Amino acid sequence: MTFCRKSLASSIALTTALMASGSQAQMSDDVVRIGYLADMSGTYRDLAGPGGLAALEMAVEDFGGEVNGAPIEIISADDRNSADVGANTVREWLDVQDVDLVAGLVASSVTIAVTKVLEEAGGLGIVSGSAASSITNEHCTPNHIHWVYDTYPLANGTARAVVEQGGDSWFLLTADYAFGHALEEDVTKVVEDNGGEIVGGVHHPFPTSDFSSYILQAQGSGAKIIGLANAGSDTVNAITTASQFGLTQSGQQLAGLLIFLNDVHAMGIDTTQGLLLTTGWYWDMDDASREWAERYYERVGRMPTMVQAGVYSSTQHYLNAMAEVGSDDPEAVKEQMMATPVEDFFSRNGRIREDGRMIHDMYLAQVKAPADSEGEWDVYEILSTIPAEDAFRPLSESQCKLVQN
């Protein structure tokens, strides 16, 4: 593992200082700075956005607002789903504002650009919103951790379940950027490995408001399953258009491959009932998840998505590691994070692997029928647990340069 910002001499000096000072803080400028970068106004606003920032603020407040006497400062920026904007913002944060951690990170194209900057500058980032499994595969770096979910368990969960239920012919409607391509690749493999086939597909621009022509192509394909390899408002618009065109009435079924709580809430369970999905977390899973979600609801006015819960979880894990090592040195903090299991209201059986992937249990869920729902946000039934070791891409298949196969 190589963090460019830290030379051998500084590493030796840090180790010596830590041995001499015990648990006393060794913060480089006596302040811990966390930069939250996300889509704050566009397609992914509701699944992460300002709500993710609120979760990060909760994590800092619950931690006490300081690490070993060093106050924690939060800054934020809207990346506008632009890789250039994201990369330039993080470069300025690292070079000028001495940001210790970059959090959030939603659009996969933005994340891939940002992680390259982190690797060049020796920074540290935690990815909570992005889905592309390539982020800890061919695009892995020693400078970032991928926290909540990725396209591999989405395919292993939803696509596998749909094929096993008889949905063996698929048409894929794919967002034309890194996330969509990764999800398309992972779903194709799962469908074909389980005896199904991909009969067609189309790539749509990101973002898209008019899905009419794409839904017509999907209808004309004759596929049993129309797989939506997109997210956020793109998924909502696609499902709404499909409903308007009577797609499901013609015998075809929609498979939402990345569905968030806010999507189901926005469309309503009358429209989405019966939809299968894979999630990394749900607010009504147990007492611990409900307690945190209710505090979040009091603050924000809506229940949190798995991304927003993941922002809190990852921030707390980072701050605990920093307090333990008594330093903001990114390599030392990451090593401590990797050495510590992740067991909290968000993660079950969690740990950070050498490729930077935080693996944890994932869940196959189904949207409830209206008659079964007991409230506005009571929308999922958890059907089964996908164990951490089965959910994510095995290291034996990894292309990550950090993995010794």
Predicted local distance difference test score (pLDDT) of residue 405: 61
Instruction: Indicate whether 299 and 374 sit together in one domain.
Output: no
Instruction: Indicate whether 244 and 181 sit together in one domain.
Output: yes
- Which is more confidently placed, 192 or 17? 192
C-alpha dist (Å) from residue 308 to 45, 249, 305: 11, 35, 5
Instruction: Indicate whether 125 and 199 sit together in one domain.
Output: no
DSSP symbols for 192-217? HHTT-EEEEEEEE-SS-S--HHHHHH
Q: Contact, 10 vs 68, CB < 8 A?
A: no
Digit-coded pLDDT (tens) for 233-291: 899 999 989 988 988 788 898 888 999 999 999 999 988 888 889 999 999 999 999 99
In a domain, 238, yes or no: yes
Predicted local distance difference test score (pLDDT) of residue 125: 98
In a domain, 1, yes or no: no
Instruction: Indicate whether 84 and 36 sit together in one domain.
Output: yes
Structural domain for 165, as ranges: 152-279+362-389
Predicted local distance difference test score (pLDDT) of residue 250: 81
> How large is the average pLDDT for residues 12-16?
39
Predicted local distance difference test score (pLDDT) of residue 12: 35
Cα separation, 156 vs 282, in Å, equals 18
Digit-coded pLDDT (tens) for 344-363: 999 999 999 999 999 999 99
Digit-coded pLDDT (tens) for 93-132: 999 999 999 999 999 999 999 999 999 999 999 999 999 9
Instruction: Indicate whether 241 and 383 sit together in one domain.
Output: yes
Instruction: Indicate whether 382 and 308 sit together in one domain.
Output: no
Instruction: Indicate whether 302 and 318 sit together in one domain.
Output: yes
Q: Which CATH number is 72's domain given?
A: 3.40.50.2300
Instruction: Indicate whether 202 and 228 sit together in one domain.
Output: yes
In a domain, 51, yes or no: yes
Percent above pLDDT 90 for the chain: 80
Q: Does residue 11 have a pLDDT over 50?
A: no
Q: Contact, 110 vs 90, CB < 8 A?
A: no
In a domain, 396, yes or no: no
Number of separate domains in the chain: 2
Cα separation, 262 vs 255, in Å, equals 17
Instruction: Indicate whether 138 and 256 sit together in one domain.
Output: no
Cα separation, 205 vs 177, in Å, equals 8
- Residue whose entry in the numeric block shows the structure tokens 């809207």: 78
Instruction: Indicate whether 165 and 27 sit together in one domain.
Output: no
Digit-coded pLDDT (tens) for 165-180: 899 999 999 999 888 9
Instruction: Indicate whether 240 and 322 sit together in one domain.
Output: no
In a domain, 211, yes or no: yes
In a domain, 400, yes or no: no
Instruction: Indicate whether 42 and 31 sit together in one domain.
Output: yes
Digit-coded pLDDT (tens) for 309-346: 999 999 999 999 999 999 999 999 999 999 999 999 99
In a domain, 366, yes or no: yes
